[in-house]
Amino acid sequence: MAQACEKTLTLEEISVPGYEKIIRVLNVEVGLHAIICIHSSVIGPALGGIRIYPYPNEEIALKDVMRLAKAMTYKSLLSECSWGGGKAVIIADPKVGKTKELLSAFAEAVHQLKGEYICAEDVGCSPEDVLLISKTTPYVVGLPHEKSSGNPAVFTAWGTFRGIQSALKKIYNSSDLEGRKIAIQGIGAVGFELAKLLFWSGAHLIISDLDQKRCLELQQLTGAVILSVEEILKAECDVLAPCAMGGVLNSRTIPLLRCLAVAGCANNQLLNGSDADELASRGILYAPDFIINAGGLINVSLELEAEGYSPIRARNRVNRIYDQLMVIYDIAEQNRFSTHRAALSLGDYRLKYQIGKRIEPPYFHHASLN
């Protein structure tokens, strides 16, 4: 079923079993080709970021947005945020194809969904971009002004930092980072902030990124050792922190790992669910990505509460990622299966019994500023 909006914008539903709603969004005049995916709204309206990326084709983009939206469902369930899982991808190069007209057209598509999907920044999409989107629709969070939470990267980094501490606690019975070797694959907005937190806590850093200039900048700040993107997977370390794109943990890379734990902020780190079993069989502790990287979601979600956004409440909520991961480690150990399976099982239980289901509607405090 296709729906035309203002002649040039077309919304077409794609039916996929297991997903509530997937919408193909097209506007040929401005070069917009996007997909909005709502995995589940059982607990609350779907909330998730907009990823702007030059996917080779729609099939790959669809596969990615479906994985990301499903991860958002479990991220919300396990962080007790009371939101559903959603995500959007715009097939474009953010460096050259991200125009004001394209973002405005996408915003109109979000508005047509009448709050079923609430968007935020993600890879390739900045707080300034979502501010522009907010001129067309109120269904957006993470704006850079006083009634919003702004860029969630710092909170995602802090949650990942706490997750690394939880892994060390499980392995060594101490969360102290002094002298620990942490290998960070990907030093984008979150990875860079994470590296600084780890450095000031006494960790020895090993880093990699395709952007060598950024690596050198971080090396100057922290004394980090720089390796290639492939070599860092073989680095001997206490914790490997994947902080780039997904699928890095797979049948080819897992045998190369020389770490005791994997705990990073990248989404969909496992190429397949079975890869978690391979990690477990090697005795490598895995912090499920949709728990450890929930700091950004927790941060932006708080601005939709009746009392409005508070960085103090956000920090305190993000701190709980440590405890949530410790529970998952214990469940996995007691049942002798992977931490990934433990996290999914707990999420499925909460979804089945609608634990944490949202009662109050979201409050868009920023709407009064537009």
Q: How far is CA 212 from the centre of its chain?
A: 24
Does the active-site annotation cover 100? Answer: no
What mean pLDDT comes out for the span 189-214?
Answer: 97
pLDDT digits (tens, 9 = 90+) for 48-104: 999 999 999 999 999 999 999 999 999 999 999 999 999 999 999 999 999 999 999
Of the residues 21, 70, 75, 87, only one is catalytic, namely 87
Residues 6 or more apart whose CB falls under 8 angstroms from that of 138 comprise 364, 366, 367, 370
Task: Give the residue range(s) of CATH 3.40.50.10860 domains in the chain.
Answer: 2-75+84-133
Distance CA 245, CA 268 (A): 8
Distance, CA of 68 to CA of 286 (rounded, Å): 19
Closest CA to 197 of 222, 228, 232: 222
Residue 226, Cβ density class (10 Å: 0-12 exposed, 13-18 middle, ≥19 buried): middle
In the chain, where does the domain assigned CATH 3.40.50.720 lie? 153-351
Burial of 17 (0-12, 13-18, 19+ CB in 10 A): exposed
pLDDT in tens, 156-200: 999 999 999 999 999 999 999 999 999 999 999 999 999 999 999
Amino acid at 357: K
Match 């956004």 to its residue by tokens. Answer: 309
Strands (E), 220-315: 225-226, 236-242, 258-262, 285-286
Q: What is the pLDDT of residue 106?
A: 98
Half-sphere exposure for 225 (CA within 13 Å, toward CB):
13
Residue 370 banded pLDDT, cuts 50, 70, 90: low
User: Hey, what's the torsion of the CAs at 347, 350, 352, 358, to 10 degrees?
Assistant: -120
pLDDT-based confidence at 2, cuts 50/70/90? very low
pLDDT digits (tens, 9 = 90+) for 111-137: 999 999 999 999 899 989 999 999 999
Residue 268 has pLDDT above 80, yes or no: yes
CATH of span 153-351: 3.40.50.720
Helix (H, G, I), strand (E, B) or coil at 212: helix
* pTM across the whole model: 0.94
pLDDT at 291 over 60: yes
CATH class, range 2-75+84-133: alpha beta
- What pLDDT, on a 0 to 100 scale, did the predictor assign at position 165? 98
- Residues 102 and 187: their CA atoms lie apart, in Å, by 28
